[in-house]
Amino acid sequence: MSDFYLSATDLQRAAQYYEKHFPEEARNSITIANRAILNEFIVPYTNDLNRWIRMGTPVDWLHNPTNDLEFTWGINRHWHMLDLGKAYLMKGNPLYVTAFIDHFRSWRQQNPVPVNLVYDEAVFFQKPGPWRLLETGLRVQSWISAYKYMEASPLLDEGFQAEFRQGLYEHAEFLTRYLGSTEINHAIMHMQGLFMIATFYHQHPRSPHWRQVAMERLELCLLHQLGEEGIQVELTTHYHNASIEMFGTPYRLGEISGHPFSAWYARCLRQMAAFTEALIRPDHQSTGIGDSDWVGDGRQRLTLLGAILDDDDLMARGTDSSECLWLLGVEKYERCLRLQASSSPVLSSRAFPQTGYYVMRDKYQYLFFDAAAMGGAHGHADALNVEWMWKNQLFFTDTGRYTYEEGEWRRYFKSTRAHNTITVDGLDQTPYLSTQQWGEPEAQARTLRWESNDRYHFIDASQDGYTHLPDPVTHRRWMLAGVEIPLLLIVDWLEAEAEHTLEQRFHLHPQADIALRINEAGEMTADMSYEASSITLTMQWVTAGIGKGTFELTEQPGWVSEVYGSKSETSVIQGKTDFSGKVGILTLCLPADHTDQVTHVTTCQLEPDLMRLALSYVQGEEKGYIVIDNDTLQWTKEKK
């Protein structure tokens, strides 16, 4: 029976491979380890990522020199110990082991196990400190992994080993004394840590109890947190993909240690792959729904999941990942790479109708449409949001999450105005209360029609976030994209009795160069070009039910957050007008590159009273006609 993912020999080989094949990551690990020797840290998932923060000698584990409460929680997860261990395997410097021992001992001395801790404080609502269950579960995983990486060091003598086992015992008992709700993602990490302790410290007479509790509660977490379509219930890309790792690594450790999880557990893991894969764009980044980063490659999760389940097909659809190397070892990892080198995955459109997410693909484009529920505290007010990529150029993008710290930036990134949809009277679709809390009523979206075929992609959906105003406002959106004909139509229908102000926004790729103008027909247009690219995008607007010339088109400043704690400026195309009654806004998007025949729209008619669009266009020697109403869609073509 094994008590860890890899043996000492396999870990040494993995370290050599890591240094050779992941040189940048290896250098980062050594830098983090060298700084940790000096008691200096940068804590991931905080708003202070640009400087090394000295924490004193010994480290003061409750010192927080930032304004971000996440810093205290983050540093008490001891993620830096993983890099101390990797650096030791690569370089053999005993100072890395000494730092690990010093940090372990100083932490335990400063933070004895709480006595009679109030339940709510331990489980979730604790003041920033080291014994929230989330940090407890994550910290022991850092401890055990670092210990196994350094196990060959003579500095880990019998005295330290006894201290180490006592620390694990204290953590295991704490994790079984305070049990967080299995409906919250924190509980996965609580039990992930407990299962790891039970496996590593299997000699302890309490280990069977720890293991049983961890396995049963991980299954409850799967039951409560995975929807019928295999999507984690918070409905965000980040937490879904993170859950694959959190559920998957105990599964692998169970197989290795001789305590396997159920076949049902494996089926649930396998089901999660569909959503992860669907949201991988052609540029290999993933659409970042809700509290997710702008940058993230879901293919690495496919590799991990395939390796955990011993599924060649899943591994082949993934990509290289050092995370898998440290779990699998060199031989199995290289097998993953061979499978990927001989595979050419072909992805198709995918609908998750029970959830409300739609991904539409063809040879040239990727479209994501959000008609889902909020998803809880990590959701954003983003109903009817769209992300669009054409010929590998991202045009409209989700903006990321940036921070969990209460304040204007948290509110901005969660707001409706930070997404590619419509706001009414400057309000969010769902009232914002605080960083982790939405008000009532929560906006609900409803999909009315969806088609994806070899000629076009179409979706018709509505959201009710503004129907709760004193004067209710309805919002319905159509989106039609041509497969053979390069055009995207977005039609927004709104209706109200009294006067309101609407703002329609499209968040652009940061590299977009924008020119706003009025064309010869007196129509508002926006032309986008991109550095070192032949791709261009022209956007035109046609309105009905709104006074001529009252739809104001402007370029506004916006923000995207590539990773938690960082943000950069981007441009937002905003259309704004006052309205009452029934109105329609057609946003016509015409992408092109130098090899394309340009599409010209020749006529367009919007009829809000009938909820009808009629449009004709010319492309080369072909004429086309599009008619959409409340019930039907007709797209016909003929030669000129």
- Sequence-separated (6 or more) residues with CB below 8 Å from residue 534: 593, 594, 595
Collapsing DSSP to helix, strand or coil, 522 comes out as coil
> 137 near 189, Cβ under 8 Å?
yes
The answer to whether residue 617 scores a pLDDT higher than 90 is yes
Q: How much is the pLDDT for 445?
A: 97
| Whole-angstrom distance, CA of residue 145 vs CA of residue 387 | 39
CB 592 within 8 A of CB 536: yes
Locate 316 and state its tokens: 């082949």
DSSP per-residue codes, 312-324: HHHHHTS---HHH
Tokens 């395939």 belong to 306
d(CA 120, CA 34): 37
Name the CA radius of gyration of the chain, rounded.
27
First to last CA, the chain: 74
> Using an 8 Å Cβ cutoff, are 224 and 28 in contact?
no
User: Alpha-carbon distance 321 to 300, whole Å?
Assistant: 6
Q: State the pLDDT at residue 638.
A: 86
Contact 621, 639 (CB under 8 A): yes
pLDDT at 296 over 90: no
The beta strands (E) that lie in 19-78 are given as 40-41, 53-54
**Token pair of 368 as six digits:** 């994501």
pLDDT value at residue 69: 83
Each residue's pLDDT tens digit, 429-483: 999 999 989 999 999 999 999 999 999 999 999 999 999 999 999 999 999 999 9
Instruction: Tell me if 46 sits within 8 A of 71, measured CB to CB.
Output: yes
Q: What is the pLDDT of residue 115?
A: 85
Pairing of the two strands 456-463 and 432-434: unpaired
Instruction: Give the mean pLDDT of 72-94.
Output: 97
Please write the tens of the pLDDT for every residue from 521-579. Answer: 677 899 999 988 999 999 999 999 998 888 999 999 999 999 999 999 999 999 999 99
CB 520 within 8 A of CB 410: no
Task: Check whether 597 has a pLDDT greater than 90.
Answer: no
Please name the residue that has the structure tokens 């992408």: 591
Question: Does pLDDT of 126 surpass 70?
Answer: no
| Residue the block writes with tokens 């109200």 | 496
Angle of helix 8-21 relative to helix 80-91, nearest 10 degrees, comes to 90
Which tokens is 490 given?
């977005």
Tens of pLDDT, residue by residue over 491-518, are 999 999 999 999 999 999 999 999 998 8
3-state secondary structure of 614: strand
Mean pLDDT of the region 586-612: 90
Of 403 and 597, more confident = 403
pLDDT at 596 over 80: no
CA distances from 451 to 229, 276, 633 (A): 19, 21, 10
Is residue 402 within 8 A of residue 561, CB to CB? The reply is: yes
Query: Cα angle vertex 292, ends 286, 294, to 5°?
Result: 55
pLDDT at 125 over 90: no
Q: What angle do CA 78, 83, 84 make, to 5 degrees?
A: 85
Q: What integer best gives the mean pLDDT of the chain?
A: 94
Using CA atoms, how far apart are residues 117 and 174, in angstroms rounded to an integer?
A: 10
Using CA atoms, how far apart are residues 92 and 12, in angstroms rounded to an integer? 10
Task: Considering only residues 124 and 182, tell me which one the structure prediction assigns the higher pLDDT.
Answer: 182
